[in-house]
Amino acid sequence: MNSFERFCFNLLGSRMKAKREDYSQLRNDLISARFKTPFEVYLSTAFVSSIIVGLCAAVFLGAISWMLKLPTLIKYKGAVPGPLATLAPHSLIIGTVAITIFSLLVFGGITYAIFIMYPSVEAGNRRRNIDATLPYAINYVTSMSTAGITPAEVFRLLGDSPIYGESAVEARYIAREIDIFGRDLIDALRLVSASTPSKRMKEFLQGAMASISSGGNLTEYFRTKADQYALENRQTQKQFLDMLALIAESYVTAMVAGTLFLIILQSIMSVLSGDNKPMFLYAIVYIMIPLGSAAFVIMISSMTPES
C-alpha cells in the first residue's frame, strides 16, 4: 500500500468491510487479476479518488462557466413560464451551480466506473495471455516431469521461467501455497484453479488434481494435455489467419475501392454542379477514411492472439 491507499483505507476501510458481499464480483476480479491490493483498500481508494476527481472537475468547469458567463449565452425564444422568468436575472448563478453539480456526478461516476471495471479488464488480459502461453508451458512441464522431477518442483521451476508469461505467474502461486502456507500439492492446485481467469488453465489444473488423487501417471497426463493444446493452438492460429484474410478483403473492398469510387463520384458531381465546397467529399477524406481505418486496426488488434 502506498501512502494514498493507506489514507483512503484509514478513512473508509471499516465501512468497506461491510460491503464485501455487495461487491463479490469485484473481489473475484481482484483475485483473478492477481492484484496485491486488498479488497477494502481498493474499494476505499475507488471511492476517495472518485470524490477527488469529481470535485476537481466540478470546481474547474464551474470556474470556467462563471468567468466566461456560459449560462448567459443560452437564449430561449418563446413563451417563458412566470416562475422561470423571475429566475432570469440569476441565470449565471443557477447555470454555474447546475454545471458544477453535473460535472461532479459525471466525472466522479466515470472515475468510479473505471476503478470497478479495471480489475475485470486486467483479468481478461491475463486470461488471453495464459491461453496463449499454456501449450508451451505444458511442454516445459512435460519435459521436467519426464526427467523425474517431482510435481511440486515442476511447478516451482515453471514459476521461475518468465518466458511463459502469466502461466508462470499461476505456477508461482501454486509454489507459494506449498512453500509459504504449507499446503499439499492438491490443495494448492485446487486454490489456484478456483481463482485463475483462464478456463483452459482451470481444466488443466483440475485434471492434474484428479490424476494425483487417483494415483495415475501424471507425466502421461502432462504429455496428453501438451498434445491436445498444441493441436488446439494450431487450429486457433489457422482460424485467425482465415479471419485475417477475410478482414483484408473487406478492407480493400470497403476502404479502398469503396472510398475511391465515392471520391470520384463526388468530384464529378461537384464539377458539374459548380460546388466549391464539397462537404461530403471532405467528410469522406477527413472522417470516413481515418475512422474506418482505425476501426479495422482496433478490430484486428482485439482479435490477434497474444504472442
pLDDT at residue 74 in the model: 58
The pLDDT tens digits of the residues spanning 193-252 come to 999 999 999 999 999 999 888 888 888 999 998 888 888 888 888 888 899 899 999 999
Pairwise CA distance, residues 224 & 145, whole Å? 13
Of 185, 192, 45, 18, nearest in space to 115 by CA: 45
What pLDDT is stored for residue 307 in this prediction? 52
pLDDT at residue 255 in the model: 86
Full-model pTM: 0.74
Q: Which residues of the chain are modeled with pLDDT < 70?
A: 1, 70-92, 305-307
pLDDT, residue 75, reads 60
d(CA 208, CA 222): 8
Which one, of 123, 169, 128, lies nearest residue 301 by Cα?
Answer: 128
pLDDT in tens, 252-264: 998 888 888 888 8
Q: Which residue has the cell 492438491?
A: 186
Q: What is the secondary structure of 242-297 as a DSSP string?
A: HHHHHHHHHHIIIIIIIHHHHHHHHHHHHHHHT-S--HHHHHIIIIIHHHHHHHHH
Distance between CA atoms of residues 168 and 237, nearest Å:
22
Q: For residue 164, give the DSSP letter.
A: G
- The confidence score (pLDDT) of residue 212 equals 87
